[in-house]
A and B are shown apart, each in its own frame.
Chain A
Amino acid sequence: MPFISKIQRQTDYHLFPPSTPIVIDNGASYFRIGWAGESEPRVIFRNIVQRPRHKATGETVTIVGDQDTSLLRYFDCTRSGPRSAFDSNVVFQFEIMEYILDFAFDRLGASGSRIDHPILITECVCNPVYSRSKMAELLFETYGVPAVAFGVDAAFSYKYNQQRAICGKDGLAICPGFNTTHVIPFVDGEPVYKGSCRTNIGGYHVTDNLKQLLSLKYPHHMARFTWEKVEDLKMEHCYIAADYALEARLFQKGGKEAEEKTRCWQLPWVPPPTEEPPSEEELARKAAIRERQGQRLREMAEAKRSSRINELENQLHGLEFLLQQINQVQEEEIPAFLAETGYVSKQEIEATLNKVSQSLRKAKGEPKAEQAENEKADSSAAEKYPLINIPDNMLTPEQIKEKKRQIFLKTTTEGRQRAKQKRFEEEQEREKKNQQDEQKRLENPQLYLEQMHTKYKELYEKVEQRKRLKTNGGHTNGNSGGVGRGERLNPAHRERMRLLTTAAFDRGKGEDTFGAKDEDWQLYKLMSKDNDDDDDGPDEDEAELARVCSRLQEIDPAFVPKPEVTTTQATASEVPRARQLTKEDFQILFGVERFRCPEILFNPNLVGVDQAGLDEMTGVSIRRLGYKDGALEDRLTSSVFMTGGCSLFPGINERLEAGIRMLRPCGSPIKVVRALDPVLDAWRGASAYAANYQFQQQTFTRADFYEKGEDWLRRYQLRYTL
Chain B
Amino acid sequence: MEAEVMKAELVLPTHMSFKRIQMYEKYPKGQSKVRWKQLKQIIQAENYQNFPPDDPNYVNIETPPSMHPCKRICDITGFEAPYYDPRTNLRYANADVFKLVRSLPNEYVQRYLALRKAQVVLK
Contact = CB atoms under 8 A, between A and B. Distances in A.
Contact of A95 (B1, B31, B62, B80): B31
A95 B79 contact: no
Given A95-B31, A596-B73, A130 B18 contact: no
Given A198-B61, A596-B78, A616-B68, A115 B10 contact: no
B42 A114 contact: no
Contacts of B13: 106
A163 interface: no
Interface size class of B (residues with CB under 8 A): 35 or more
A475 B43 CA distance: 50
A197 B111 CA distance: 31
Interface string B13-57: 100111111010011001110001111001101100000001011
B38 A616 contact: no
Given A130-B42, A611-B62, 13 more contacts: A54-B11, A60-B30, A68-B8, A92-B37, A141-B20, A196-B61, A197-B63, A244-B71, A251-B79, A480-B98, A483-B103, A605-B66, A611-B64
Contact of A99 (B12, B87, B111): B12
Contacts, number: 207
A106 B15 CA distance: 11
Nearest to B55: A194
A93 B93 CA distance: 43
A131 B42 contact: yes
Name the residue among B21, B78, B79 with the largest chain A CB count within 10 angstroms.
Answer: B78
A607 B115 CA distance: 6
Q: What 3 A-B pairs come out closest when comparing CB atoms?
A: A608-B117, A592-B78, A87-B39
19 contacts: A56-B2, A62-B12, A68-B10, A71-B5, A90-B39, A102-B16, A103-B12, A130-B42, A143-B19, A193-B61, A196-B61, A197-B63, A198-B62, A212-B114, A252-B77, A485-B106, A592-B77, A606-B71, A608-B116
A127 B17 contact: no
Q: What is the interface of chain A mostly: helix, strand, loop, or mixed? A: mixed
B56 A196 contact: yes
Interface of B: 1-2, 4-5, 8-13, 16-21, 23, 26-27, 30-32, 36-39, 42-43, 45-46, 54, 56-58, 61-68, 70-71, 73, 77-80, 87-88, 93, 98-100, 102-106, 108, 111-112, 114-118
A64 interface: yes
Interface in A389-409: none
A209 B117 CA distance: 12
A125 interface: yes
B68 to A, nearest CB: 7
A531 interface: no
Contact of B66 (A95, A110, A612): A612
Interface string A377-395: 0000000000000000000
A249 interface: yes
A106 B36 contact: no
A95 B27 contact: yes
A465 to B, nearest CB: 17
A93 B103 CA distance: 43
B102 A480 contact: yes
A606 B73 contact: yes
A54 B1 CA distance: 8
A64 B63 contact: no
Contacts of A480: 98, 102
A67 interface: yes
B76 to A, nearest CB: 8
Nearest to B111: A216
A350 B105 CA distance: 69
A112 B17 contact: yes
Interface stretch (A435-443, A466-474, A565-573, A645-653): A565-573
